[in-house]
Amino acid sequence: MLKDYFIYSVRNLKNRGLRSWLTMIGIFIGIAAVVSLIGLGEGLRITVMSQFGFLGPDVLGVQASGLAFAGPPGTGVVEPLSDEIADKIRKVNGVEASFNRYIESVTVEFNDRQEIGISGSVPEGKNRKIFEAMVNLKAEEGRLLKDSDTKKVVLGNNFKDNDDFGKGIRVGDKVQINGIDFEAVGILEKKGSFIFDNVVLMNERTMFDVIGVKKEEVDVVAVKVDNINNVNQVKKNIDKLLRKERDVKEGEENFQVQSPQQTLEALNSTLFAVQLFVYIIAAISLAVGGIGIMNNMYTSVLERTKEIGVMKSIGAKNSAIFTIFFVESGLLGMVGGIIGIILGMIFAFGLSAAGRVFLGSELIQASVSLFLIFGALLFSFTLGTAFGLLPAYQASKLNPVDSLRSVK
């Protein structure tokens, strides 16, 4: 019986053609926004997590930031951290280890092809083990670096099957870094992190002596805290020390002490703000869509008053009339929802594909779960019926004789 009401409802919606479609616009804009947003949001969260998530909560990074007051105005020169800072930080209460890290862009040449890569330094001595544990560094092929290595590199997992060089780099292969011959001694395990999967790791000293990086200009000081519960206190201590060292007032810091967790949270809260904004827009268009459905259904009840009278005269109970209109409004919502889901998915996956093509990165990822799809469908159906409730009730309560007497 419900199936027959269904067929009848579909006929009526088709009969109202353009009006039905117009009614659904609000719904499908709203649902499309929600689906693409949740889809991209989930994907983005997964990406963000994999970029930074492997760093423990007991790690802090210290970086120089802001414009240096010493430089000529407008040149944007940053006053770098000096190489003694790490030693000073190590003496701060609650710090277990601290060491300098250098990051430099280099050219990588292999198989007669050249690419730009990011090289990162590996500290030597006892800090090596701490660094390896900190980022959970493991070789998939070959080995990690030793103190005695010079002109040796360990490469991120993406080099193993990188098409850019025509063929993948294997352990034992010769590569030219900035035109100098190096040997690849190891390939890292896949991390899912854009940074680490593309990194060229070399010993700190190699970086100074062979590449020519200045020892005095540290890019990041990595700090390991001895107790996770003290992270915030340690951060404050380091802030204080650096303000003194760099002679800046509170609020005018030209450096940053950040934990990966904080970075994640900062990213998440930015994401959340954007999401909130789109959700509000989605909610507004869904409300407009819902009111549109209500309006459409009221009009339809008016137009079909006579039909309702006829159906009652041939045995339709109030409940049957109610169901007919109820199903119809639910269908309006659901069809709007289906279109919205499709549009939302096209948008989300389109954007992530565009990211791959134009930015060449996997950073924007869409992930639309089955749960999301069914949730959106159920929601749009419920929305339709919620706004169809009153019109359907009104239709069901119509007096049969009066409805039959109505002209149309």
Partner 1 sequence: MRKSIIKLENVWKTYTMGNVEVNALQGLNLEVKEGEFLAIMGPSGSGKSTAVNMIGCLDVPTKGRILLDAHDISKLGESELAQIRGRKIGFIFQQFNLIPTLTALENVALPIVFQSVDRETRRKRSTELLEIVELGDRMEHKPTELSGGQQQRVAIARALANNPEVILADEPTGNLDSSTGETVMSFLQKLNRKEGKTIILVTHDKNVATHADRIEFLKDGKIIKSLNRKGG
**In the complex with partner 1, which residue's Cβ is closer, 11 or 236?**
11
- CA 115 to chain CA mean position, Å: 27
191 is a contact residue toward partner 1 (CB under 8 A):
no
Residue 388, C-beta contacts closer than 8 angstroms, at least 6 positions apart = 293, 294, 297, 325, 326, 328, 329, 330, 332, 333
For 345-407, the DSSP string reads HHHHHHHHHHIIIII--S-S-----HHHHHHHHHHHHHHHHHHHHHHHHHHHH--HHHHHHS-
State the number of binding residues for partner 1 (CB under 8 A): 23
Q: How far is the CB of 4 from partner 1 (least distance, A)?
A: 5
Q: How far is the CB of 337 from partner 1 (least distance, A)?
A: 24
Q: How far is the CB of 399 from partner 1 (least distance, A)?
A: 8
90 is a contact residue toward partner 1 (CB under 8 A):
no
Cα–Cα dist 364/20, whole Å: 35
Residue 11, C-beta contacts closer than 8 angstroms, at least 6 positions apart = none
313 is a contact residue toward partner 1 (CB under 8 A):
yes
> Which residue of 107, 317, 354, 374 would you call a contact of partner 1, by CB under 8 A?
317
Q: How far is the CB of 309 from partner 1 (least distance, A)?
A: 8
**In the complex with partner 1, which residue's Cβ is closer, 70 or 314?**
314
94 is a contact residue toward partner 1 (CB under 8 A):
no
Q: How far is the CB of 288 from partner 1 (least distance, A)?
A: 28
Residue 116 pairs with which residues in a beta bridge? 107
4 is a contact residue toward partner 1 (CB under 8 A):
yes
367 is a contact residue toward partner 1 (CB under 8 A):
no
Restricting to residues 15-54, name those near partner 1 by CB under 8 A.
Answer: 15
305 is a contact residue toward partner 1 (CB under 8 A):
no
Question: Of the listed pieces 201-209, 221-229, 273-281, 396-404, which binds partner 1 according to CB under 8 A?
Answer: 396-404
Q: How far is the CB of 330 from partner 1 (least distance, A)?
A: 18
Amino acid 273 reads A
319 is a contact residue toward partner 1 (CB under 8 A):
yes
Q: How far is the CB of 385 from partner 1 (least distance, A)?
A: 21
> Which residue of 118, 210, 241, 310 would you call a contact of partner 1, by CB under 8 A?
310
401 is a contact residue toward partner 1 (CB under 8 A):
yes
Residue 62, C-beta contacts closer than 8 angstroms, at least 6 positions apart = 81, 85, 89, 220, 221, 222, 223, 238, 242, 255, 256, 257
Question: DSSP 3-state assignment of 225?
Answer: strand
Cα–Cα dist 353/45, whole Å: 17
Amino acid 5 reads Y
Which residues here bind partner 1, judged by CB under 8 A?
Answer: 1, 4, 8, 11-12, 15, 306-307, 310-320, 399-401, 404
